[in-house]
Structure 1
Amino acid sequence: MTMTTPTPEPTDRPTMTPLTTLTCPLDAQRLMRDGQSWCCADGHRFDIARQGHVNLLPVQRKRSLDPGDSKAMVSARQRLFALGGYQPLASALARRVLALAGQASALAVLDAGCGEGFYLRQLAGAADEQQLSLTAAGLDISKHAVLAAAKQSRDAAWLVGTNAALPLEDACVDVVICAFGFPVWQEFARVLKPGGHVVLLEAGAEHLLALRRILYRELKPARGEAGVMAAEAAGFVVEGEVEHLHAGLSLTSNEQIRDLLTMTPHLYRAERDGLARAEAMTALAVELHAELRVFTREEAQGAA
Structure 2
Amino acid sequence: MTTPTADSADRPTMTPLTALTCPLDAQPLVRDGQSWCCADGHRFDIARQGHVNLLPVQRKRSLDPGDSKAMVSARQRLFALGGYQPLASALADCVLALMDQEAPLAVLDAGCGEGFYLRQLACAAGEQNLSLTAAGLDISKHAVLAAAKQSRDAAWLVGTNAALPLEDACVDIVICAFGFPVWQEFARVLKPGGHVVLLEAGADHLLALRRILYRELKPARGDAGLSAAEAAGFTISGEVGHLHAGLSLTSNEQIRDLLTMTPHLYRAERDGLARAEAMTALEVELHAELRVFSLEGVQDKS
Smaller-chain TM-score bracket: over 0.9
Residue 67 of structure 2 corresponds to which residue in structure 1? 69
Residue 232 of structure 1 corresponds to which residue in structure 2? 230
Residue 260 of structure 2 corresponds to which residue in structure 1? 262
Mapping of residues 1-304 of structure 1, within 5 Å: 7-299=5-297
Q: Per-residue deviation at 1:109?
A: 0.1
Q: Which moved more, 1:98-107 or 1:205-214?
A: 98-107
Q: Per-residue deviation at 1:228?
A: 1.8
Q: Per-residue deviation at 1:226?
A: 1.6
**AA partner of residue 232 (structure 1):** E
Secondary structure (helix, strand or coil) at the match of 1:299 reads coil
Q: Which runs of 5+ in 1 are unaligned?
A: 1-5
Q: Which moved more, 1:9-18 or 1:80-89?
A: 9-18
**AA partner of residue 36 (structure 1):** Q
Residue 3 of structure 1 corresponds to which residue in structure 2? none
Return the alpha-carbon distance in structure 2 between the equivalents of residues 60 and 68 of structure 1. Answer: 15
TM, length-normalised to structure 2: 0.96
Secondary structure (helix, strand or coil) at the match of 2:297 reads helix
Residue deviations 1:198-250 (CA, integer Å, cap 9, x gap): 00000000000000000000000111002222211111000000000000000
Residue deviations 1:120-159 (CA, integer Å, cap 9, x gap): 0000000001111100000000000000000000000000
Residue deviations 1:6-25 (CA, integer Å, cap 9, x gap): 94422412110000000000
Identity across the alignment (%): 90
**AA partner of residue 44 (structure 1):** H
Q: Is the 8 A contact 2:112 2:176 kept in 1?
A: yes
Q: Is the 8 A contact 2:23 2:55 kept in 1?
A: yes
Q: Is the 8 A contact 1:7 1:83 kept in 2?
A: no
Would the alpha carbon gap of residues 14 and 240 (structure 1) be closer, same or farther in structure 2, given more than 3 Å must change?
A: same
Return the alpha-carbon distance in structure 2 between the equivalents of residues 103 and 215 of structure 1. Answer: 46
**AA partner of residue 211 (structure 1):** L
Return the alpha-carbon distance in structure 1 between the equivalents of residues 88 and 295 of structure 2. Answer: 24
Q: Is the 8 A contact 2:242 2:288 kept in 1?
A: yes
**AA partner of residue 281 (structure 1):** M
Q: Is the 8 A contact 1:195 1:297 kept in 2?
A: yes
Return the alpha-carbon distance in structure 2 between the equivalents of residues 8 and 225 of structure 1. Answer: 31
**AA partner of residue 49 (structure 2):** Q
Return the alpha-carbon distance in structure 2 between the equivalents of residues 103 and 128 of structure 1. Answer: 12
Return the alpha-carbon distance in structure 1 between the equivalents of residues 157 and 150 of structure 2. Answer: 14
Q: Which moved more, 1:95-104 or 1:199-208?
A: 95-104
Residue deviations 1:263-304 (CA, integer Å, cap 9, x gap): 000000001100100000000000000000000114359xxx
Return the alpha-carbon distance in structure 1 between the equivalents of residues 9 and 230 of structure 2. Answer: 38
Return the alpha-carbon distance in structure 2 between the equivalents of residues 193 and 233 of structure 1. Answer: 17
Secondary structure (helix, strand or coil) at the match of 2:89 reads helix
Root-mean-square deviation (CA), in Å?
Answer: 1.2
